[in-house]
Structure 1
Amino acid sequence: MTPPLSASSSRPLERDALIVNARHGTISPGDIAIGVIIGRTSEFFDFFVYALAAVLVFPAMVFPYADPVTATLYSFALFSLAFVGRPFGTLIFTALDQKHGRGVKLTIALFLLGGSTMAIALLPSYDQVGVLSAWLLGFFRFCQGVALGGSWDGLPSLLSLNAPKKYRGWYAMIPQLGAPLGLFVASGLFAYFLGILTADDFFRWGWRYPFFVALAINTVALFARLRLVATPEFQRLFESRDLQPSPPFQALFSEWRTIVLGAFAPLASFALFHLVTVFPLSWVKLMTQDDPVRFLLIEAAGAIICVTAIGASGFIADKVGRRAVLGVSAALIGAYSGFAPQLLAAGQVGEIVYMFTGFVLLGLAFGQSSGAVNSNFSDYHRYTGAAIVSNSAWFIGAGFAPLVALFLASRLGLWAVGIYLLSGVLCTLAALFINREWAKREAD
């Protein structure tokens, strides 16, 4: 017999999903973890497919009238539009969540993400439609950002709140695994098509296939996440933990202090994130004679190293605390910023050392950067506040990182990239220090 639907989850647009999934019983932290990994991997795969195309395809296809460096800077400017769109997605989809439910919101957001990705896969070139190509690419990229802002499902917060106390660091790193896993698949696909196709075939149609794959992965991820989110047991878990959407502006004004600290606490890892994934590929492609396929394979290997380092961050955090891991890893990234530019300019061996060292540090820092201060939110604002923190941190720390890094490196030299990375480290250390001092005052 089908269990009865609760009043809070019986909105017409969600009723069918609830009936289909009502057979599930008790939900464990492991079930939540699987949903989180699937969701985050699909989102980051989408992210990296676009990011790699922003280096390898769009400068020549959309901006052929500009020199290669300027064309890549234009491409990175459009890349940043997704991070501008994320806050709009939070506003729009929070209203949908409140009116129609989490399952409906998630479905629409992921269909928008998949539709935007498909539209980019079918993008006409500058030679076909002129400057309209850039306008279309910018619009679809902005729509991707809106969809990503709306795809927040609260599962990472739910996972953290339901994790065993002595394994909080381990469970905190689980959502972060999606980034290196998404990078591994995206890098492998682009390396494959670049390796087997002629340059003409790759630019005509080969680069479009990873975007089609992204659409397929999003569809699978949608059903996998809905299978969990739409169950009555999940509804009860969200409600018992007060993980319900609150008005975004109300959350912003009420919890501004926690939001600011949460946005700046992960900046060291978020700045490093793009400086070992997107920026170095652009530098190698523009400034060296290296084969892009070789560098993509290095990135894929680095992604596996990053997965291992993220796992290690969870183990270490459960021994010494998340704050200690964030602080020490930020200090190590600061030391890395002093010699990393020289490594990237030191030829193929230097590039490998730069990438692998960077991925180790990224894994340690990024593994504990998600929701570092989310426990400071009041219960009422935790769901929406966590979404705002995530959007803000990516916007400030990562949204413009490839653009700024390439601009500084091309104008001033690679040493300036080290200074840029160091600024993120200082922001992280300052946020951790201020958060600790405020916590002490509130305890007194």
Structure 2
Amino acid sequence: MRDGTEPDPGQLRRVAVASAIGTTIEWYDYFIYSTAAALIFASQFFSTLSPASGTLAAFATLGVGFLARPVGGIVWGHFGDRLGRKAMLIASLLLMGVATVGVGLLPTFEQIGVFAPVLLLVLRLLQGLSAGGEWGGAALLAVEHAPPGRRGRYGLYSQVGVPAGLILAQLVFVLVTAGLTEEQFRSWGWRLPFLLSIVLVGVGLFVRLRVAETPVFRTLAAEQAQSRQPLMDVFRHRPRELLLASGSFVANTTIGYVFLAYLLSYGTSVLKVGRNLMLVVVIIGSLTWLVSIVAAAIWSDRAGRRPVYLAGSVLLVLWAVPFFLLVDTRSPALLIVAVVVLNIGLGATYGPQSALFAELFEARYRYSGVSFSYAIGALLGGGFAPLIATALQSSTGSSLSVSAYMAAVGLLSLVAVIALREPSPAEVVGRLTGAD
């Protein structure tokens, strides 16, 4: 800490929980939305279209969330650098909760006509806006509270929300579909996962309201050193870091969405593998991702952020072709091997990310820098990955075309990581504490 005092252990525990729960809610909300878009939204909100067109329209609303993320990164980043990390985290959590519960309460097309899909689109936009700033605030809440030498360890709490949210969403939908008839699910049961989000939001608010503002921002506020135009300052002073940080994230989010959003559809519809087996495979991969995130983040405190990132980036490139060769065998054991190795690479390029991105930008415009980098990387990578993968496989008839896509994107991020200079310890201290 800048004043040399030791952080309170109880406060650090609350910080860790507050950081983790926000990203878990974000990804829980995303995955229940994507699952509902595949299962039910076509009949509920696009009933005048053919089933195929309705499904495409439902999935199109997913993309809107990604388009809104950079805007969210700009808005939350600006006010996070001006007003504080804690206030923006509470606001983003409330917005995400309102939007998600709103989807669960939304009337159908049969009830209010064209206003139903319009409102669905608006709520998805709100989710995207919230997500654009949620990660940056959660990452900084953890990293700026972390004791020296443990920023990777504390930064991991904002990263585990992806696999945790996926696992939670899958479990909720499994329980809902198992406990209801098909008619009950289509009538009202699909709304339950969205309405249950209010429980997570309530817990998240309780935790976040008890967390103190980060020491870094308290110092900036006391000295009245906040940037007046933080995003402009990022572009003015750290354009290289902004570009390379965004590029470093493209492969992780692209390949991550191939695993999270495309693999289940490919396995069940193209390979004709049983849905239950594919769900088990995805859950095992998600658990591997969670464990590897923790291991990579802790390792980065000893080895440095860049070496861990490089190791993961190389693995993602090299594993792109073997991944689908193993998946195409339809063998349960080889399917598991394929996703386990892939998720080790994903964990290595995601676990250290909070600490790395925070260390790249000065305190007075850090929220804007990390949020915008993350949002742009997510938009360029994850926003279109499932659509591109589906188009490649259907047009070529071969999963190796998807492997080539994964490898190409992996090489792009690998180049960005190689070009990204990790700050020296002295530079890191200056940037993190706000010292000039």
TM bracket, shorter-chain basis: 0.7 to 0.9
Matching residue within 406, 430, 433 for 1:421: 406
Q: Does 1:393 align with 2:413?
A: no
Matching residue within 219, 231, 235 for 1:253: 235
Residues 16-415 of structure 1: pairs in structure 2 closer than 5 A = 29-63=12-46, 65-66=49-50, 68=52, 71-93=54-76, 103-126=86-109, 128=111, 132-151=115-134, 154-229=137-212, 236=218, 239=221, 244=226, 246-254=228-236, 255-347=238-330, 349=332, 350-370=334-354, 372-413=356-397, 414-415=399-400
Deviation of the 1:338 alpha carbon: 0.9
3-state SS of 2:150 partner: helix
3-state SS of 2:243 partner: helix
2: distance between equivalents of 1:395 and 1:144? 14
2: distance between equivalents of 1:235 and 1:290? 51
2: distance between equivalents of 1:294 and 1:151? 33
Deviation of the 1:132 alpha carbon: 4.4
1: distance between equivalents of 2:396 and 2:315? 24
Amino acid at match of 1:362: L
3-state SS of 2:211 partner: helix
TM-align CA RMSD: 3.3
Amino acid at match of 2:367: Y
Judged with a 3 Å threshold, the aligned counterparts in structure 2 of structure 1 residues 30 and 258 are, in CA distance, closer, same or farther, namely same
Q: Greater CA deviation, 267-276 or 198-207?
A: 198-207
Contact 2:142 2:158 in 1 (8 A): no
Amino acid at match of 2:365: H
Give the equivalent residue in structure 2 for 1:21. none
Amino acid at match of 1:337: A
1: distance between equivalents of 2:37 and 2:278? 15
Deviation sequence 1:306-330 (CA, Å, 0-9, x none): 2211122124323432211111111
Contact 2:289 2:346 in 1 (8 A): yes
Amino acid at match of 1:398: G
Structure 2, gaps ≥5 residues long: 1-6, 428-436
Judged with a 3 Å threshold, the aligned counterparts in structure 2 of structure 1 residues 242 and 304 are, in CA distance, closer, same or farther, namely farther
Deviation of the 1:120 alpha carbon: 1.2
1: distance between equivalents of 2:104 and 2:284? 26
Contact 1:169 1:321 in 2 (8 A): no
Q: Percent identity?
A: 29
Contact 1:170 1:315 in 2 (8 A): yes
Q: Greater CA deviation, 54-63 or 236-245?
A: 236-245
Deviation of the 1:199 alpha carbon: 2.5
1: distance between equivalents of 2:301 and 2:120? 44
1: distance between equivalents of 2:134 and 2:41? 26
Deviation of the 1:211 alpha carbon: 0.7
2: distance between equivalents of 1:229 and 1:438? 28
2: distance between equivalents of 1:142 and 1:209? 21
Q: Greater CA deviation, 359-368 or 126-135?
A: 126-135
Structure 1, gaps ≥5 residues long: 1-23
TM-score, with length taken from structure 1: 0.82
Deviation sequence 1:95-135 (CA, Å, 0-9, x none): 65577665554444322211211221133445555554433
3-state SS of 2:353 partner: coil
Deviation of the 1:51 alpha carbon: 2.3
3-state SS of 1:367 partner: coil
2: distance between equivalents of 1:256 and 1:162? 26
Give the equivalent residue in structure 1 for 2:3. none
Contact 1:184 1:301 in 2 (8 A): no
Judged with a 3 Å threshold, the aligned counterparts in structure 2 of structure 1 residues 34 and 239 are, in CA distance, closer, same or farther, namely farther
Deviation of the 1:295 alpha carbon: 3.0
Deviation of the 1:145 alpha carbon: 0.8
Contact 1:190 1:296 in 2 (8 A): no
Q: Count matched residues.
A: 415
Contact 1:266 1:393 in 2 (8 A): yes
TM-score, with length taken from structure 2: 0.83
Judged with a 3 Å threshold, the aligned counterparts in structure 2 of structure 1 residues 93 and 44 are, in CA distance, closer, same or farther, namely same
